[in-house]
Amino acid sequence: MDRNQLIGIVLIMAMLVGYQLLVPKPAPEAEQAGKKPAQTSQPTATFGTADNPKNTSAVASVSAVDSAAARAKFGDFAALTTGNERDVVIENKDIKVTFSTAGGRVKEVVLKDYKTYQQKPLVLVDAQNSITRLELPTNRGIVDLHRLYYQTDAQSGTVSGGPQTITFRAEVAPGQSVEQVYTIPAEGYVLNYNLKLNGLNNTVGNDNIRFFWQDQMQQYENDLANCRRSATVNYFTADENFDHLKETEASDEETISQPVQWFTFKHKYFLAGFIADNSPLQRADFKSLTPEKDSSFVKTSVADVMLPMADVKAGKGAYKFYYGPNDFQLLGSVAPEFDRNVYLGYSVLKPINKYFFVPVFNFLEKFISNYGLLIIVLVVFVKLILTPLTYKSYISMAKMRVLAPEIEAIKARVGDDMSKQQSEQMKLYQEVGVSPLSGCIPVVATMPILFSLFMLFPNLIELRQKPFLWANDLSTYDAFITFPAIPFIGSHLSLFTVLMTASSIAFAYFNNQTTPTQPGPVNMKALSYVFPLMFMFVLNSYPAGLTFYYFVSNIVTIGQQQLIRRFVDEDKIKAVLNENRKKIASGEVKKPGGFQAMLQKQLAAAEEARKQADTRRQPKPKKS
């Protein structure tokens, strides 16, 4: 390894070190912002307004209020500020929802088919951490409908057969009432929600209804830092634009100028969302606040939106709540573009995941219950499809090996002049009709697949808590060895990542044995051993399913190349190249054109420019 190569490797490592040291840390304001939501976790039961959020937390108990003062302040709603709280628990095949007559709201949601990483029940929403306000403008001021007490005839039970409807009714006066109506399906995660104002047109104003939702997102996966990077607020505007707050460990917030059709609080693998069925939400402010570093919860997500008053007055206040997994197969029927909550990669890569990998993965699930074996079958299937490209790449390398003696002769003839070497080598390729890109194109063609999987596997809920060999959960890293935190590596070592790295180095070794050294300032053969080590640091905290896929893919590729090698006769390839040389020299076959001819011209022009520069640098003879 010469000096230039060593300097290049040192610079690459220096960039990695610099990134770790210089990456921006969360601003102090963001950390302070994360403290505020925690202060509201102990709720009170008094009324409040949009300007006084301190007194508008979830209902826990009711303070004694002077009836005359309450009447003066809240008008006909005053009688509804006291009452007895009763819970109604309704469950279907997939979820268990606890409703409360205090507020007529969803108090708790448990996803029955999922557990936390500690194998505890997965409570997606609870009264302590999820705070809501539904502020109705009236002639006397703002009344928070989630602070009223409601009546219902519903009893706890299980939904069977068709959907079940629960109505919470707060009677303001004879013929005047507020109704919150929920419909729970026999299976699934969508709750239909209707808000009705009966006979209250003269009592309420024309301003929109404010819906405020704040949720301290709990930790459901083992890697808290990764959970924070994945947690965000997604939203879809009325003009069909999907966007989200930044997916980082730092806080972020945004005011949306466009009406919003739906929004979700996105955990790594789960969603809590709100969807407008009719007119979109008229204004939206979203926040994603990072708590203190020693906090046990992930982030505090906040949505502050406006429900159109005109819709509610007209009896069209129809909405949906979604409480469930972030599963691509389930989300498409919830709302337009709702499946975009599952990140499938950049726009170029997304079709590969959406129309190939996700359908193939779900098809294989029907027949293979072990997800490690499923990944192996997926690798073999993909490799079979790519076999023609692999074969073409190997034939290209075989041609390079056949030409290796002539390339060495060129190096001996022109010396260390890299530009001259490349120019003469291009002439040789043209003489025998070989394109230097023919071996690169198959490799480049496989790169989108590798990058697509890199985006897909961290977001694939199907791998969550699926064990294989020593890995308890293929959706996260397999901490085979743990130790105190070390820079670049962390506090664990993933065995699947180590195996992936070893197989990558083995693949580079076999590949280098059959690939001639190309001229250039950097020894690519040496770098082929360095890059796997660099990727080991990057992928050490990625899902075990991803690194296992890469490991199996490397093994299958090595086997493919060894098998192809048995069927390739390099003597025949040499004879074909010599025949091409004769035909091109005689004019029977034209020299390759296109990119190769252009590259040859560029190299020739560069060589000519170099010669002219050398001539100008030569000292002129002195005049006598």
Greater confidence (259 vs 513) lies with 259
Residues of the chain with pLDDT > 90, as a percent, come to 41
Residue 400, pLDDT score: 76
What token pair was written down for 135?
């502020």
Residue 372, pLDDT score: 93
At 609, the pLDDT band (50, 70, 90 cuts) reads low
DSSP for residue 354: I
Residue 405, pLDDT score: 79
Mean pLDDT of the chain: 80
485-511: average pLDDT: 85
- Do you know the residue count of the chain? 624
Greater confidence (95 vs 53) lies with 95
562-589: average pLDDT: 75
Of 23-27, 349-353, 608-612, which has the strongest mean pLDDT?
Answer: 349-353
pLDDT at 25 over 70: no
559-565: average pLDDT: 85
pLDDT at 369 over 70: yes
Of 260, 92, 302, the closest CA to residue 190 belongs to: 92
- DSSP letters, 372-411, are HHHHHHHHHHHHHHTHHHHHHHHHHHHHHHHHHHHHHHHH
Tell me the pTM: 0.77
pLDDT at 262 over 70: yes
Express each pLDDT in 445-472 by its tens digit. 778 888 888 888 889 999 999 999 999 9
Q: How many CB atoms lie within 10 A of CB 322?
A: 22
- 3-class DSSP assignment, residue 576: helix
Of 359, 354, 360, 351, the closest CA to residue 382 belongs to: 360
Greater confidence (490 vs 372) lies with 372
Question: Computed from CA positions of residues 336, 364, 459, 343, in that sequence, does the dihedral angle turn out positive or negative?
Answer: negative
pLDDT at 24 over 60: no
- DSSP letters, 255-293, are EE-S-EEEEEEE-SSEEEEEEESSSPBS-EEEEEE---T
Alpha-carbon distance 356 to 9, whole Å?
37
Of 284-288, 295-299, 406-410, which has the strongest mean pLDDT?
Answer: 284-288
At 528, the pLDDT band (50, 70, 90 cuts) reads confident
At 623, the pLDDT band (50, 70, 90 cuts) reads low
Alpha-carbon distance 211 to 180, whole Å?
14
Alpha-carbon distance 514 to 517, whole Å?
10
Domains of the chain by start residue, with CATH: 25-342 (2.70.98.90), 354-470+543-586 (no CATH)
Alpha-carbon distance 446 to 129, whole Å?
46
Greater confidence (522 vs 233) lies with 233
335-357: average pLDDT: 88
b/e 75-113 (16+ beta carbons within 10 angstroms → b): bbbbbbbebeeeebbbbbebbbbbbbbbbbbbbbbbbee
Contacts of 279 (CB under 8 A, 6+ apart): 259, 308, 310, 311, 316
Express each pLDDT in 100-128 by its tens digit. 999 999 999 999 999 999 999 999 999 99
At 292, the pLDDT band (50, 70, 90 cuts) reads confident
At 45, the pLDDT band (50, 70, 90 cuts) reads very low
Alpha-carbon distance 557 to 390, whole Å?
8
DSSP for residue 140: T
Greater confidence (41 vs 420) lies with 420
- DSSP letters, 155-194, are --EE--SS-EEEEEEEEEETTEEEEEEEEE-SSSSEEEEE
At 286, the pLDDT band (50, 70, 90 cuts) reads very high
Express each pLDDT in 232-261 by its tens digit. 999 999 998 999 999 888 899 999 989 999
Greater confidence (315 vs 610) lies with 315
Alpha-carbon distance 472 to 227, whole Å?
18
At 539, the pLDDT band (50, 70, 90 cuts) reads confident
Greater confidence (614 vs 215) lies with 215
Express each pLDDT in 297-339 by its tens digit. 899 999 999 999 999 999 899 999 999 999 999 998 999 999 9
86-105: average pLDDT: 94
Question: Computed from CA positions of residues 564, 570, 571, 576, in that sequence, does the dihedral angle turn out positive or negative?
Answer: positive
At 535, the pLDDT band (50, 70, 90 cuts) reads confident
Burial class (CB in 10 A: 0-12, 13-18, 19+), 595: exposed
